[in-house]
Structure 1
Amino acid sequence: MKLFYMPGACSLAPHIVANEAGLNVELIKVDGKSKKTEADQDFLSTNPNGYVPALVLPDGELMTEASVLVQYLADQKPETGLMPKAGEMARYRVQQWLAFVSTELHKAFGPFFRPDTPEATKEANRAHLNKRLAYVDQKLEGRSYLMGDAFSAADAYLWTVLGWARHVGFDLSPFANIQRFIGTVAARPAVQQALREEGLA
């Protein structure tokens, strides 16, 4: 399998899950501006949408979308518990969190990375994020991870998105449980490995 990534982008989430599951994944770095890989290949020929993550399976099949890739990779090693079994309520809870992170947090951070975003839009998104993060913070009360004591694919995605806060000047200090969560996840060996492999540690 080949995972196309940009350092620190949402592709970090499937990268972490692959490491947690002990999967052998070839990492291919993509330049966000030129859309070229380190080998000077045209990334758009792999994913015409031009964004990461993109996962190419051994048979050449292409998969995209961080929330889907973390599930697919976790399911390759079901014994890890990164994704609970199909039919179990716990699986739907993890999927619920993945959808929440994707639609309520990931998308809301996007405008902060675009230089032409009006200040009014940033303010609206900041208010939205504060409201949603207050919800996450409350749900993390007394828990190490979103599902309790067990690390899941949703935690990898949440942690990745929360990491963007410091790059856009978003203040997470009001959220004590989120700050604790960030530290807990950061200490995991598979996470540290992913950061080293992306040149972020």
Structure 2
Amino acid sequence: MPATAPNRSAATPRGARSAIRRRIQRRRLATAWTEEILGWCDGRWWALRVPVLVYLAYAWIRHTQLPTYQSLFKGLNLGIHELGHFVFAGLGEMPAVLGGSFLQCFVPILAIFMFLYQRDYFGIAFSFGWLGTNYFEVAVYAGDAVLKRLPLVTPGGGEPIHDWNYLLGNYGWLRHTETIAGAHAAMGHLCMALSLAAGGWLTWLMFRSALRRRLETGL
């Protein structure tokens, strides 16, 4: 007798049904998420968000035109950077030096998760913009590792240490300075794009909700 082909008729429908169920679940999740955001935007004042987005767009342009541009976040970012050195000082010299740039990028990430927990979606978008300014600043600092032209801040006194010259020099990576700086700058551009795209969308939803209310009430 000729060999019978394996019966795959049962396995194929099961696989197809599983794929369909997954697609349905993803659509339901996306729908629920969209409805939650629409509900969150309803009744919120869009005009308050516009100046924030305008400044973030301006800061992005300025950072692109002039890498050493100092945004309104500069003082806060620098304070967190210096705090990072003290926070990680007990772990040794290398963690203490790295801690400055690490903490100034990590705190905005914490803010993103905090706003996510609070379901403050515009706060999330804003925090991505803030994170972007930190990446731009770290890119400039890392890019200065070889030439060391930037003025250094030493709150505790003593001989100033150029963080990135120390870090890259210890690992023999000074020849990769431009690549590392470019990677941080790319992250800055990505964060700014996410911030403005998400923030602009949320602001548009707020405006549309306010316009609909005015049309419905005739005010």
TM-score category (smaller protein): under 0.3
Query: What is the TM-score of this pair, normalised by structure 1?
Result: 0.27
TM-score calculated relative to the size of structure 2 = 0.25
- The structure with the largest helix share of the pair is 2
Larger Rg: 2
